Amino acid sequence: MKAILILSFLLLSVSGNSFSQQAAKVIAFYTAENDLAHISFVNEALPWFEKLAKEKGFKFSSTSDWDKMTIENLKNYQLVIFLDTRPEASIQRQAFEKYMESGGAWMGFHFSAFALTPSDFPQNWDWYHEKFLGSGQYDSNTWRPTGAILKIEQPNHEIFDGLSTQLQAAPNEWYKWEHDLRENPDIEILASIDPRSFPLGTGPKAHEIWHEGYYPVIWTNTNYRMVYFNMGHNDMDYDGGTNKPLSTTLASSPQTQVISRSLNWLLKK
């Protein structure tokens, strides 16, 4: 009897260790071309997620090859991240839709939600921009990139646990969208621009400075495992001619805490 108990204990121990070693796999897709501010964000995001993976115990990989967005390949990952753009090829988009409709998880940043017709990134993907993100097309933005106070719309959400009801965000180019997300019953707005941030932006054009309005910057679609962050555009020294970053997105806390907690929430959810 004693031998049986010892054997049972050993089997449970082996089983438990095996389960704990099955780390979640996360993959980030990016393009990192043309816009220096987006490239700057990608360059800081990749090592940041690698460091977070070591701390949290998940496996992180990244690629600029969007052809790896296939149905078979995405089955290997518990979370997909779009750092700066979106898939453009029809077969890539179909694979991502299938992945999300089948219970996959997604985290997107800044330009990954951009669409404007006409432009190099037209709104030609209704499922993504209308159904999934709910935001529709890009409408306008602030300029130059400036920090903002964010109002936490869902303070009881676990990604904000223990944090204040307001959040100081790093400098960013903030987006306005075609649709009012408050009118979409599937969208849960997690954070928005706090009115105390106004005026937001410095111009030089008048329409690049916001003085009022409601602007969501973090939200989730309750039909999917997803979170979108409007952050992801660093301030750059364009005027000085060096084109070097003047700010960072992932060096500010508690903003990075919210991103880290959102990743945990998506993997757990």
Instruction: Write down the domain spans for the chain.
Output: 23-268
Q: What is the mean pLDDT of residues 50-57?
A: 96
115 close to 138: Cβ distance less than 8 angstroms: yes
pLDDT tens digits for range 155-171: 999 999 988 888 999 99
Could you tell me the pTM of the whole model? 0.91
How do residues 25-42 score in pLDDT, each as one tens digit? 999 999 999 899 999 999
Give tens-digit pLDDT for 69-92. 999 999 999 999 999 999 999 999
What pLDDT, on a 0 to 100 scale, did the predictor assign at position 9? 34
Q: How confident is the model at residue 253 (pLDDT cuts 50, 70, 90)?
A: confident
Closest CA to 51 of 86, 26, 29: 26
Dump pLDDT digits (tens) for 191-229: 999 999 999 999 999 999 999 999 999 999 999 999 999
Domain 23-268: give its CATH superfamily: Class I glutamine amidotransferase (GATase) domain (3.40.50.880)
Please report which helix (H) or strand (E) contains residue 176, including its range: strand 175-177
Instruction: Give whole-number Cα distances, 102 to 24, 91, 96, 176, in Å.
Output: 17, 16, 10, 30
The DSSP call for residue 208 is G
